[in-house]
Structure formats: structure tokens, C-alpha cells
Amino acid sequence: MANEQQQQSQPIGIVQPQQTDLGARELAAVEKLQKAYHDLRAELGKVIVGQDAVIEELLIALFCRGHALLVGVPGLAKTLLISTLARTLGLSFNRIQFTPDLMPSDITGTEVIEEDKTTGGRQLRFVRGPVFANVILADEINRTPPKTQAALLEAMQEHQVTAGGKQHRLPQPFFVLATQNPIEQEGTYPLPEAQLDRFMFNINVGYPTEDEEFQIVRLTTMGQKIELNHILSGEEIGLLQEIVRKVPVADHVIRYALQFSRLTRRTEGGNVPDFVKEYVSWGAGPRASQYLILAGKARALLKGRYHVSTEDIRQVALPVLRHRIVTNFNAEAEGIKSDSIVKKLMDHIPRQQYDELDRNMAKMLRDQPAA
């Protein structure tokens, strides 16, 4: 208790970011990542009109080895966006349409008895399911019962499938993108909190603007065939995912990210804001803090910086936290969603001190002599 009080009273100062082992090869890979990001945006723009924030969040999740849940009404090109992304990356792609009668073995695969015609002997052979691909589209994941939804848990976390006591590794990179329709809730099975927490991002897909919808209608009614270029290979994506984790983070940025998670927990005592005590049942766990930092690292690189700022944390806070905050009846009665809680937290956590530390850190890194 004394140590905790001492940490809380200790002033937040500028601390040298964690030592990074980015060498010349890695720095070249970072430049390749930034170029690939802009090329991917350009290629996706040939097929997808608008949705810039959605595309950026998808790519951040991809480079962080995370999975994403896309929530939006039908007809907003969620499926088209995911399949187009797989094509531009040259990765294998499978779409699984989740239905009430879908079984776990329909996703992961099953064992069948196979007879050897030469010897007459029989043996079990594992037939791989559609989950054995680089990019998996779990379409309308809330349409299937929990036991089938849970079949994805091991695949998402361990990147493997266990069948008949044997473990089968999934191809790398492995990326699950699930979609949900927020309108129809009858006959659906909401994802349990344990599985929701496996998704790095919950991405809201909104309606296009009038100009974007004009372009969508014009392009999709012309019958023009669009050729897409491959931007990155699976091996290159794996290397870039390693580079993201080597990006340095200053201590004050980690403490800033921790506040977003810890202040959503009613058990934290007097530091918790009143609006959290009034509207939140359960707050975000430690995985939220991890994903805030990882996503901040990826966003910093995509924006051409080699260190993470508190602005990066703010920009990724909504997709990381919106599905990890469970609101109570008071919030439901007043129409307050988890997004509103996160935005209130952004205003509640003081910025001035952290922004000053960000500026000092950026200056310190600029003044450092090149290695």
C-alpha cells in the first residue's frame, strides 16, 4: 500500500524511451512499411470509396498481429473491403458464413477414416477446415451458437487448431476479421466477453457521405474490371510485425495509456470519475492497455515517426476500448454508449502535462546524434 501511494504521488517526468534495437535493416523496413501503407491505401481506393478511418484501423490491427471486429449495417462493403485487402497482400483468404446450424468442425476441420487400398488398413486423416488461411472473414459471427463461436478462440489466440489430440499450426500471418450487424438482434448470439476481448479493435463502419455515395454508385454500375497489385507478401508482413514491436515508448506514454484502462474500473476507488461510477458495470482489463500501446506503435510508424506520442493513444482509444467497457442499466436508459464514456475519459485525463512531455521527447530524439 505504501509503495502504491508513493508511485501515485511521484510526479510524471520525461523518461528516456525504452532502448530500441532498430538497426539499419530495420530502419529500411520501416521506410518500406510507410511506403506499403500508402500503396495499400491507393490500391484499396480503387475498389473502396471513402472509409479512410476504417482502412487505417484495419491496417494497424494487421501490423500488430491483432484481430478486428467490424460492426455496421448491411451494404457498407465490409466483406468487399476484407477480401480486397487479402488480394492486395497476396494472402490466402477464406470466408465463413456463420449460421445457426454451423458446427465447430465446419470451421476447424474434422478427422475422417481413410482406407489404404494397398494394405487394406484404415487410419484417421485430418481434413483442414476453412480456418486454415491467412485472412479469415467470419461473416455475421453473432448468428451462430456460442460453441461454434468458441471454436475460433484457440485459433485466434494460439494460432493453432487441436483435433484428435494433435495440434495443427495455422499459416502465418493469421488475421481474423469478423462482421456484425448491429440492427437485427433477434435470433442472434451475442459474443461472450472473453471472446470480444480477443479482438484488438472494434471498428464502426458508418454510412458514406453524399459525395462518396455518388462515387460508389457511379463506379459499381459501370461494369469495369479493376486490376489490383500485390503490395506485400506474407513474409514481408511478418517482418513488419516484428518491427512494430521494437518501436520505443516513453514511460509517460505508458502511464497515459494505463489511465484509459484503469479509470474505467469502478474498483479503483477515489480516482475513478463520477460518470464511470454511474454508467459502467465492468471496465477494461490489462489487455486493453497492451493493445493501446501496440496500436500506438503501429500508428506512429505509419505516420512517419519512430516514437509513440499520447496523441497516438487518443486516436486508437475508441476502437480498443469500445467493446471492453460494459455499461449498466443507467447508461442504457439514458442512451449512453461506451464511445461516450471513452470520449469523456479523453476530456477527463489532463492533456497539457502529457503534451509538454511529448514535445520534450520529440526534441530529445531529434537532438540525438545519428548512430
For 177, residues 6+ apart whose C-beta sits below 8 A from its C-beta are 58, 67, 68, 69, 70, 82, 135, 136, 137, 138
Least confident of 16-25, 101-110, 197-206: 16-25
Specify the 3-state DSSP secondary structure of 58: helix
Buried b (16+ CB within 10 A) or exposed e, 213-237: eeebeeeeeeeeeeeeeebbeeebb
Tens digits of per-residue pLDDT, 244-259? 888 888 888 898 899 8
Specify the 3-state DSSP secondary structure of 122: strand
Q: How far apart are CA 296 and CA 302, in angstroms?
A: 10
Q: What is the DSSP letter of 17?
A: P
Residue 9's pLDDT is 41
Q: Is the pLDDT of residue 152 over 80?
A: yes
Torsion over CA: 46, 51, 56, 59 (sign)? negative
Q: Is the pLDDT of residue 22 over 80?
A: no
DSSP letter string, 80-94? HHHHHHHHHHT--EE
Could you tell me the domains of the chain?
Answer: 22-101+131-246 (3.40.50.300), 247-371 (1.10.8.80)
Residue 317's pLDDT is 92
Structural contact between residues 115 and 122, judged by C-beta atoms closer than 8 angstroms: yes
Q: Is the pLDDT of residue 145 over 70?
A: yes
Q: How far apart are CA 363 and CA 130, in angstroms?
A: 50
**pTM for this prediction:** 0.82
Tens digits of per-residue pLDDT, 47-106? 888 888 888 898 899 889 889 998 888 878 888 888 888 888 878 888 998 888 888 888
Residue 289's pLDDT is 92
